[in-house]
Amino acid sequence: MSKDPSQTTVTEIQRRVAAQWEPISTFFRELCAIPSIAGQIEAVGKRMAQEMESLGYDEVRFDKMGNIMGRIGSGPRVIVYDTHIDTVGIADPDAWKWDPFQGKIEDGVLFARGAGDEKGSAPGMVYGLALARDLGLLDGFTCYVFGNMEEDCDGIAPNTFVEIDPQVRPDFVVNGEPTRMKVYRGHKGRVEMKVVAKGRSAHAASNHLGDNAIYKLLPVIAAIRDMEPQLGDDPFLGHGKITVSDIRAQTASLNAVPDEATIFIDRRVTFGESRDEAIEQVRRLIPAANQAAGDIKVDMLFYDIPSYTGFVFPVDKYYPAWALDENHALVQAGQAARTALGLPAAPTGKWDFSTNGTYWMGKANIPSIGFGPGDETTAHTVNDSNRLDDVVKATEFYALLPALL
């Protein structure tokens, strides 16, 4: 059962946030204006650090991986506000009718790379915790804002937070991925894998002397296309998904038979589906003759790419499904905060995509919820966007929540 906030506290939070509309929204625009593609977050992390230092955080620093963290308080209960501040690239530059980083504001909405996914939560988290401190709402808490890299490997940053630096295991986590200002409490997991076929090279003019590796994968691709109805289902998380997301060939030239071909698979797993089962399902799609010959193999992907600081944290690219019980105190506190702040009543929800929650709750079993401005359906598109009023309004939620736990 969550605590009942006083109307005086809520009114004061809302008054102070309204007074800071301009600096919060400006800070948001400045974060989006700094490119931070593919984990290159040093520059945007420094801008976050500058803001946290100006607001009087007790500690502000980069961790070994290169994520930025700000701490307020030193109490026994620990809460982490998780906001990933890296983004995907801009893809086709001609698809953007405005500067993708400076963005444009139209009808109170900022359109810019990272506006929705996920720089929209960072300003509210940074300002919200400082406001909560000023109002005496953080007694007994140690609170972190954790601006991290997530796009290339979900959960790797929180994994290092717990195990490497600062080696802190929080009691609660709030994930700022876009939730349309609702409380989310889970999502499907993910297994990334590859299927590699080996063939034999030959000149294309004498292709009968070769063994085309691309052709070997065609029945596997067709079977993957048709298998989704047979995958698992869960009443909350939904149905499993599978996608061939990339294909690559190794060939001596464009007039040669490819001697190797690889497809990459994104497999979204729901409750009741394991990592090993997901891999074995794909393995069973390999034709018997190729299984006997051993010329097509399935493997899970592995991540060991150095961060911009040179830090390496090797992990399998497996991200478990997770969901926090609707009656958990953190979920109830989130819903109580929404009600107190006058947001429209709404049931808890879930993401369709994957987040750092796959480590916090999926692997480490640390109670986690999501709350953030924006809509995940605009993520990774030219319509990546967020309402400025929602970015500022989210500050109220982040300020009030600890007092309800």
Q: How confident is the model at residue 80 (pLDDT cuts 50, 70, 90)?
A: very high
Contacts of 106 (CB under 8 A, 6+ apart): none
CA–CA distance from 111 to each of 3, 21, 93, 374 (Å)? 37, 18, 15, 11
For residue 70, give the H/E element and its range. strand 68-72
Domain boundary among 248, 277, 303: 303
Looking at residue 143, what is its pLDDT?
A: 98
What average pLDDT does the chain have? 97
The pLDDT of 66-88, averaged and rounded, is: 98
Which residues lie closer than 8 Å to 23 by C-beta, 6 or more apart? 127
Burial class (CB in 10 A: 0-12, 13-18, 19+), 242: buried
Are residue 166 and residue 217 in the same domain, yes or no?
no
Percent of the chain residues past pLDDT 90, beyond the cut: 98
Confidence at residue 16, expressed as pLDDT on a 0 to 100 scale? 98
Does 313 reside within a domain?
no
Question: What mean pLDDT is predicted for residues 332-360?
Answer: 98
Identify the band that residue 353 occupies on the pLDDT scale cut at 50, 70 and 90.
Answer: very high
pLDDT attached to residue 4: 74
pLDDT tens, position by position, 253-271: 999 999 999 999 999 999 9
How confident is the model over 39-55, as pLDDT tens digits? Answer: 999 999 999 999 999 99
Residue 201: give its domain's CATH number. 3.30.70.360
Q: Is position 316 within any domain?
A: no
125 in the same domain as 78: yes
Peptide bond into 280 cis (omega under 30): no
**Average pLDDT, stretch 61-75?**
98
Is pLDDT of 303 > 70? yes
Through-space distance between the first and last CA atoms of the chain, rounded to whole angstroms: 9
Residues 245 and 159 in one domain: no
In the numeric block, the tokens 């040179």 are attached to 310
Query: Does the pLDDT of residue 2 top 70, yes or no?
Result: no
State pLDDT tens for residues 168-183. Answer: 999 999 999 999 999 9
Mark whether 79 and 126 lie in a shared domain: yes
Domain harbouring 157, CATH code? 3.40.630.10
Q: Are residues 272 and 286 in the same domain?
A: yes
Spatial contact of 210 and 257, defined as CB atoms under 8 Å apart: yes
Residue 76, domain member (yes or no):
yes
Token digits for 313? 């944290």
Catalytic positions, written as ranges: 86, 150
Q: Is residue 281 over pLDDT 80? A: yes
- Examine the pLDDT at 37 and tell me if it is beyond 60: yes
pLDDT at residue number 12? 97
Strands (E), 160-295: 172-175, 184-187, 189-198, 241-250, 260-269
Whether residues 291 and 335 fall in one domain: no
Residue 356 structural domain: 7-187+321-404
Q: What is the pTM of this model?
A: 0.96
pLDDT exceeds 60 at position 1: no
Same domain for 265 and 123, yes or no, is: no
Q: What is the mean pLDDT of residues 127-139?
A: 98
Q: Is the pLDDT of residue 278 over 80?
A: yes
pLDDT in tens, 366-400: 999 999 999 999 999 999 999 999 999 999 999 99
| Residue 239: inside a domain | yes
Q: Are residues 223 and 149 in the same domain?
A: no
Q: How many domains does the chain have?
A: 2
Q: What type of residue sits at position 299?
A: D
SS3 at position 35? coil
DSSP-assigned states of every residue in 87-135 = B-----GGG-SS-TTT-EEETTEEE-TTTTTTTTSHHHHHHHHHHHHHT
Q: What is the reported pLDDT for 5?
A: 79
Question: What per-residue confidence (pLDDT) applies to 3?
Answer: 74
Q: In terms of domains, do 222 and 238 share one? A: yes
Give a yes or no: residue 308 inside a domain: no
In a domain, 74, yes or no: yes
